[in-house]
Amino acid sequence: MNHPSPTGPVIKPSQAVLRNSIALGVLAALFAGGLFLLYSLIGGDRVPLAQQRASVERSPLQPQPQPQPQSEPEPEPKSEPKSEIESEIESEPATASAQAAAQTDAGAQPTTGTPDAPAQQAAAPASEPAPTRPPAPAADLARTADVQALQARVDSLTAELTTARGRLDALTERAAAFADTAARIETLEADIAAARAAADAAAAQAAEATEAAQRFGSLTTDYARLGARFTPAGVLVRLDETALAFAPGTAELPASATAELAAIAAFLRRHPTQQGLLRGHTDATGGAAANQALSEARAAAVRDALVDLGISAERLRIEGVGAAEPIADNASAEGRRRNRRVDILLQAPVDSAG
């Protein structure tokens, strides 16, 4: 290093130049400070917006700028030492330039309100910005609102669908219950119809039984009036010598038989289901063939008399017995008179006998 000669002449700038340089440096510093203060008071609210724009432009999907490794500064060539006045003159513009650069950097950094903050921020090394979530643009906000509205609509429709399914399940259960009830009603109706038919049949049978009882009662009464009696062959009404009084060897009805035959005809008219079997008898006098013919003639005579009284001949059958079934001794005249008779067996069809 060279040192000035203590004996050589020292060249100093003029006092006017020195004062002008100092004044210019002070004015530059004051101007930079005023600009910084004015920006802090007026335009400080624009700093976050600028930071947001910068963060939006540098989205998380884009690679972040990596700090470049700083190369080592090249060593400056050594110069001759300067005097104190020259150092002060050179430092003043450098200080003003540093303050101006700090103010320029402060345009993108928030201020803290102190004059030394720009210098400190400028002096701080550059670091990675903290990752911030970019604000959603207006289109994204609109789409988000539409998605939220659609989601709310989907939720509402899902709730309505759930309610409708619940109502459908309830209606299905009620329909199944109604079907079960309808089936039970049909079964009950069938049972009621069957019971009603059985009741009607029982009522008809009861009516028939009542009618049969009435008929039987009336028939029994009429049997009693005729003096009939029950025998294994049927209900027997005997027309003996008192009622008919046939003369020996003849089949002619006497006049006294009319009243007896009229009572039998009235009975047959009241009971149209009754049929009569007329069996003629004779006493033992005469031959068997003659007695057989005579007994049939006597039965036919009674039948003809009943037909004349209004009874159908189809309801009356005749049969000749001869002297085979006597009811008295043929050795006496009284016995032979009793044997000359006609027996009527009253019968009814099996389905109408009651």
pLDDT digits (tens, 9 = 90+) for 257-303: 888 899 999 999 998 888 999 999 998 888 899 999 999 999 999 99
Q: What percent of the chain has pLDDT above 70?
A: 67
pLDDT of residue 307: 93
Higher pLDDT among residues 111 and 282, named by residue: 282
Q: Is the pLDDT of residue 73 over 80?
A: no
Tell me which long-range contacts 146-154 makes (C-beta under 8 A, separation of at least 24): none
Average pLDDT of the residues of the chain: 75
What's domain 227-352's superfamily in CATH? Answer: OmpA-like domain (3.30.1330.60)
pLDDT digits (tens, 9 = 90+) for 171-186: 998 899 989 899 999 9
Listed by start position, the domains of the chain span 15-59+81-123, 147-209, 227-352
Q: How confident is the model at residue 129 (pLDDT cuts 50, 70, 90)?
A: low
pLDDT of residue 122: 46
pLDDT digits (tens, 9 = 90+) for 146-164: 898 999 999 999 999 999 9
Higher pLDDT among residues 352 and 268, named by residue: 268
Q: What percent of the chain has pLDDT above 90?
A: 27
pLDDT of residue 278: 92
Which whole number is the average pLDDT over 98-111?
49
Would you say the pTM of this structure is higher than 0.85? no
pLDDT of residue 302: 92
pLDDT of residue 12: 55
Residues in contact with 238: Cβ distance below 8 Å, sequence separation at least 6, in sequence order:
227, 341, 343, 344
pLDDT digits (tens, 9 = 90+) for 324-336: 989 898 889 888 8
Residues in contact with 235: Cβ distance below 8 Å, sequence separation at least 6, in sequence order:
223, 228, 229, 345, 346, 347
3-state SS string for the chain: CCCCCCCCCCCCCCHHHHHHHHHHHHHHHHHHHHHHHHHHHHCCCHHHHHHHHHHHHCCCCCCCCCCCCCCCCCCCCCCCCCCHHHHHHHHHHHHHHHHHHHHHHHCCCCCCCCCCHHHHHHHCCCCCCCCCCCCCCHHHHHHHHHHHHHHHHHHHHHHHHHHHHHHHHHHHHHHHHHHHHHHHHHHHHHHHHHHHHHHHHHHHHHHHHHHHHHHHHHHHHHHHHHCCEEECCEEEEEECCCCCCCCCCCCCCCCCHHHHHHHHHHHHHHCCCCEEEEEEECCCCCCHHHHHHHHHHHHHHHHHHHHHCCCCHHHEEEEEEECCCCCCCCCCHHHHHHHCCEEEEEECCHHHCC
Higher pLDDT among residues 47 and 249, named by residue: 249
The amino acid at 258: T
Which whole number is the average pLDDT over 37-44?
65
Q: How confident is the model at residue 118 (pLDDT cuts 50, 70, 90)?
A: very low
pLDDT of residue 352: 42
pLDDT of residue 178: 87
Q: How confident is the model at residue 306 (pLDDT cuts 50, 70, 90)?
A: very high
Q: Is the pLDDT of residue 249 over 70?
A: yes
pLDDT of residue 317: 93
pLDDT of residue 252: 87
pLDDT of residue 138: 79
- 83-87, 104-108, 213-217, 305-309, range with the lowest pLDDT: 104-108
